[in-house]
Amino acid sequence: MVRIRYLKILLGGWILFLLVVSGLAAPFLAPFDPQEQRLESRLQPPTWMGGTSSSSWLGTDNLGRDILSRIIYGSRISLLVGATTVILAGLVGCFLGAIAGYFGHGTDEVVTKLTEIFLAFPFLLLAIALMAFLGQGVVNIILALMMSRWVQYCRVVRGEVLSLKERDFVTAAKALGGRDFYVLLKHVVPNTFASVTVIATFAMAIVIISEASLSFLGLGVPASIPTWGSMLSEGRSYMNRAPWLTIFPGLAIFITVFGINLLGDGLRDIFDPKLRRQT
């Protein structure tokens, strides 16, 4: 069980590490400019499937653009949106959850009602509505996804803080003259990091799928920026004639989400005391 736990972390971590490296080194790894159109080479299959273009390892799309180059550059958007959204949503959710759980009374009621309002809307539907209002753009999609993902952090942190604030070490810190915000930030919030880390890993996988879904619907980033979701949308008209247009972007999304979920599952096994006692 212990070996499986660390194997999941190792495999998921390596997948995520390779994706980050490929995104950062995209100008050096991509064989072509992702927007370079070569109409004479449009809809060419991968070289290992008999494609005439020896340098297009994953084939070309309906405008002759290299699929591999677009997938490499598309990882930048997915990872940027995923990481930034998770960080911002975590900060907002943890802050609101911490003050609601620690101070209680009116503060807790206001935050609880606010979370209930956001929970009343399906996550993806809320993101679609916000993107339709804000318009396309990387910043807008991050804001839309953040506004619909902070609730999970808030609820978990609030529950943990409600328990932690009754512990002896918090009482001792108050008895020594520690002010509420000092005790909260110094002694209470750090003890929620394990749960927040696990939530963040799983949330990042959900955000990447959501970004791809919004881009597929034409509500993500502008069409001039290659993304995995927009590649799926463009390739659906050619699924019978050129299935590689959708297969490879779909595999990129699957491998990314699979790796992140593996990492999150391994971290959960380590941080969850019930699972630790079982091993």
pLDDT one-digit tens code per residue, 209-265: 988 988 888 888 887 888 899 899 888 888 888 888 899 999 999 999 999 988 888
Do you know the residue count of the chain?
279
CA 267 → CA 17, 92, 264, 272, distances in Å?
Answer: 16, 22, 5, 8
Q: Are 232 and 220 in contact (CB under 8 A)?
A: no
Number of helices and strands in the chain (H, E):
13, 0
CB atoms within 10 A of CB 28: 8
User: What is the structure's pLDDT at 73?
Assistant: 92
Q: Are 89 and 150 in contact (CB under 8 A)?
A: yes
For residue 57 the two structure tokens come to 């390892």
d(Cα 18, Cα 120) in Å, to the nearest integer? Answer: 37
Q: Residue for token digits 């003890």?
A: 191
User: What is the structure's pLDDT at 163?
Assistant: 85
User: What is the structure's pLDDT at 174?
Assistant: 77
Residue range 7-60, pLDDT digits in tens: 888 888 899 899 899 988 988 888 888 888 888 888 888 877 665 655 678 888
User: What is the structure's pLDDT at 273?
Assistant: 52
In a domain, 46, yes or no: no
In a domain, 43, yes or no: no
In this structure, what DSSP letter does residue 35 have? T
In a domain, 146, yes or no: yes
User: What is the structure's pLDDT at 91?
Assistant: 92
In this structure, what DSSP letter does residue 66 have? B
Confidence of residue 208 (pLDDT cuts 50, 70, 90): very high
d(Cα 19, Cα 13) in Å, to the nearest integer? Answer: 10
Is residue 274 pLDDT above 60, yes or no? no
Q: Which residue has the higher pLDDT, 175 or 20?
A: 20
Is residue 144 pLDDT above 50, yes or no? yes
Residues of the chain with pLDDT > 70: what percent?
92
User: What is the structure's pLDDT at 277?
Assistant: 47
User: What is the structure's pLDDT at 102?
Assistant: 84
In a domain, 17, yes or no: yes
How far is Cα of residue 126 from the mean position of the Cα atoms in its chain?
Answer: 17
User: What is the structure's pLDDT at 85?
Assistant: 92
Domain span including residue 106: 2-29+65-278
CB atoms within 10 A of CB 167: 13
CA 118 → CA 40, 107, 112, 148, 154, distances in Å?
Answer: 50, 17, 10, 7, 12
In a domain, 166, yes or no: yes
User: What is the structure's pLDDT at 87?
Assistant: 92
User: What is the structure's pLDDT at 86?
Assistant: 92
For the chain, the domain total comes to 1
d(Cα 164, Cα 158) in Å, to the nearest integer? Answer: 10
In a domain, 44, yes or no: no
User: What is the structure's pLDDT at 44?
Assistant: 83
Residue range 72-100, pLDDT digits in tens: 999 999 899 999 999 999 999 999 998 98
- Residue 150, domain CATH: 1.10.3720.10
For residue 18 the two structure tokens come to 């390779």
Q: What is the pTM of this model?
A: 0.87
User: What is the structure's pLDDT at 71?
Assistant: 93
Across the chain, what does the average pLDDT equal? 84
In a domain, 251, yes or no: yes
